[in-house]
């Protein structure tokens, strides 16, 4: 009797395995026939049954890639190589998807893993060399080109060993929602100093930002010392994706013992790409000083070649005062990407104080420079300096300087 039970259990297992094999064959057939959506659905059923099978994850990743569902394709293929680190076909597909999505550093790493599994594949060597050049790793690219030549690669297929430049920057290529080359984390710290006559202010900041499919979000800590007082604040700053060509900046900041920072503040700004390199934005800010300060803003930006310029206008209102301001800046992206630029900016503002019987008005202007540069793929810095002047007759002047460092991975 026990032998009969064992035989029946074995027969059932063979039937289940046979059915799964037939389903896997059907999914592969759908993929070969170009029915990517149906193939993805079939592979999803297989994954639910056997989540540890890397073939199913590879199949669905390929089906998603054929539908240009890139984040889903990357996730599936990354799962496939995690389950089977020696699966060459999965590494090949993942490297290609990274390359097609302008993630050259990730593509180069994936091709390196593939080269270990296929050491004599000349096409893998060529694609790795191209990816390294696109990522700006020229030293690594030289070694990869040398290896490709050893394998017999044609000179016409090899990349030129120079840093690539993009022909034109657009709102999509410089969108702050997603960092260049697909980094998932960034940590930044900065020091800033303002000097005006015999007084000064010192501020510091530290932020940790996480990037994902829906956008990015950061936790920030701010510190300020001025007039013998010190204050600290915490903030949450997010750049979520919205509809096509649109994203937002949402920020909330608070401090429990307000001395210099407002007790509460928040902002919401909507950006929309309207085509032709133009980007429009509208914003609302609230600062919890006294009964509250409200700031309404609009801006327009234009990308052309390796340049970007933006003009912003703001209206400021509180119970006792009102004001307005304009800021204009122009940036030159000297490496053709978001990681390297210099900026010149100009700001002008007016404030009217109604707290006394005699309305008091003040005007000011400011000029500044910014340099943003990544010295390696992972480490970068930002230097800023500006000079502001009260132009209403008081003649007060202030100088600002700042430095920040960024590490991303």
pLDDT for position 189:
95
Distance CA 400, CA 202 (A): 10
> Residue 127 half-sphere exposure, CB side, CA atoms within 13 Å?
26
Least confident segment among 260-264, 316-320, 404-408 = 316-320
Give the helix/strand (H/E) hosting 319.
none
- CATH architecture for segment(s) 180-408: Beta Barrel (2.40)
- Every domain of the chain and the residues it spans: 2-101, 180-408
CA distances from 299 to 141, 174, 326 (A): 41, 17, 10
pLDDT digits (tens, 9 = 90+) for 93-112: 999 999 888 888 899 999 99
Distance CA 33, CA 392 (A): 74
Q: For 2-101, which CATH class? A: mainly alpha
Structure tokens at 382: 């930002």
In three state form, how does the secondary structure of 2-49 look? HHHHHHHHHHHHHHHHHHHHHHHHHHHHHHHCCCHHHHHHHHHHHHHH
pLDDT at 101: 84
More confident residue, 225 or 318: 225
| 105 vs 337: CA distance, rounded Å | 14
Q: How confident is the model at residue 36 (pLDDT cuts 50, 70, 90)?
A: confident
pLDDT in tens, 60-86: 989 888 888 888 899 999 999 999 999
| pLDDT tens profile 120-173 | 998 999 999 888 888 878 888 888 888 888 888 888 788 877 655 554 555 555
Q: Is the pLDDT of residue 8 over 70?
A: no
What pLDDT does residue 352 have?
58
| 192-203 confidence digits (pLDDT tens) | 998 877 778 899
Q: How far is CA 260 from the centre of its chain?
A: 31
Whether residue 405 has pLDDT greater than 60: yes
Q: Report pLDDT for 172.
A: 53
- Let me know if the fold of 2-101 is the same as that of 180-408: no
Please state, in angstroms and rounded to a whole number, the distance separating the CA atoms of residues 53 and 390: 69
Question: Do 266 and 252 meet the contact criterion of CB atoms below 8 Å apart?
Answer: yes
Cα-based torsion angle of the residue sequence 42, 48, 50, 53 in order, rounded to the nearest 10 degrees: 70
- Please give the structure tokens belonging to residue 302: 């234009």
Task: Give the start-end residues of each E strand in 213-277.
Answer: 215-226, 229-240, 246-254, 264-275
292, two tokens: 């509250």
Nearest to 78 by CA among 408, 101, 140: 101
- Structure tokens belonging to residue 53: 């099978």
Q: For tokens 């000083």, name the residue.
A: 289
Lowest mean pLDDT of 18-32, 349-363, 386-400, name the range. Answer: 349-363
Q: Are 158 and 129 in contact (CB under 8 A)?
A: yes
Q: In this predicted structure, what is the pLDDT of residue 178?
A: 60
Model confidence over 233-286: pLDDT tens digits? Answer: 999 999 988 888 888 999 999 988 777 888 899 999 999 988 888 899 999 999
pTM metric for this prediction: 0.61
Q: What is the mean pLDDT of residues 204-211?
A: 92
The predicted structure's pLDDT at residue 173: 54
Q: Which of the four pLDDT bands, split at 50, 70 and 90, describes residue 13? A: very low
Question: How far, in Å, CA of 38 to CA of 62, rounded?
Answer: 12
pLDDT for the residue 162: 62
HSE-CB for 101 with a 13 A CA cutoff: 23
Q: What is the pLDDT of residue 32?
A: 84
Whether 405 and 376 have beta carbons less than 8 Å apart is answered as no
**Residue 343 pLDDT greater than 90, yes or no:** yes
Statement: residue 358 has pLDDT above 50: no
To the nearest whole percent, how much of the chain has pLDDT over 90? Answer: 34
Confidence of residue 361 (pLDDT cuts 50, 70, 90): low
Contact 310, 283 (CB under 8 A): no
């Amino acid at each position: 009797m026990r032998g009969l039970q064992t035989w029946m259990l074995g027969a059932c297992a063979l039937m289940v395995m046979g059915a799964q094999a037939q389903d896997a064959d059907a999914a592969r057939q759908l993929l070969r026939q170009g029915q990517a959506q149906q193939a993805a659905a079939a592979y999803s059923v297989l994954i639910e049954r056997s989540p540890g099978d890397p073939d199913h994850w590879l199949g669905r990743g390929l089906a998603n890639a054929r539908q240009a569902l890139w984040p889903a394709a990357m996730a599936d293929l990354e799962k496939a190589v995690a389950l089977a680190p020696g699966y060459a076909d999965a590494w090949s597909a993942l490297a290609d998807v990274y390359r097609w999505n302008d993630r050259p550093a990730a593509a180069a790493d994936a091709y390196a893993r593939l080269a270990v599994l296929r050491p004599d594949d000349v096409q893998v060597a060529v694609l790795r060399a191209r990816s390294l050049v696109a990522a700006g790793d020229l030293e690594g690219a030289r070694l990869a080109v040398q290896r490709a030549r050893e394998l017999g690669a044609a000179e016409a297929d090899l990349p030129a060993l120079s840093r690539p430049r993009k022909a034109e920057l657009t709102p999509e290529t410089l969108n702050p929602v997603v960092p260049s080359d697909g980094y998932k984390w960034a940590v930044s710290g900065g020091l800033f100093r303002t000097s005006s006559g015999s007084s000064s202010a010192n501020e510091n900041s530290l932020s940790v930002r996480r990037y994902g499919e829906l956008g990015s979000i950061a936790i920030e800590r701010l510190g300020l010392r001025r007039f013998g007082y010190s204050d600290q604040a915490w903030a949450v700053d997010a750049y979520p994706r919205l509809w096509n060509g649109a994203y937002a900046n949402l920020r909330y900041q608070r401090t429990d013992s307000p001395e210099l920072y407002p007790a509460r503040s928040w902002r919401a700004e909507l950006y929309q790409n309207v085509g032709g390199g133009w980007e429009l934005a509208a914003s609302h800010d609230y600062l919890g000083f006294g009964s509250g300060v409200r700031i309404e803003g609009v801006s327009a930006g234009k990308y052309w070649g390796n340049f970007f310029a933006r003009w912003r206008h703001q209206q400021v209102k509180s119970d006792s005062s009102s004001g307005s301001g304009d800021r204009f800046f122009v940036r030159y992206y000297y490496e053709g990407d978001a990681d390297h630029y210099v900026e010149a900016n100009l700001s002008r503002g007016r404030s009217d104080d109604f707290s006394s019987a005699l309305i008091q008005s003040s005007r000011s202007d400011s000029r500044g420079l910014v340099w943003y540069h990544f010295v390696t793929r992972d480490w970068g810095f930002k230097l800023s300096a500006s000079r502001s002047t009260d132009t209403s007759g008081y003649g007060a002047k202030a100088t600002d300087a700042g430095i920040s460092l960024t590490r991303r991975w």
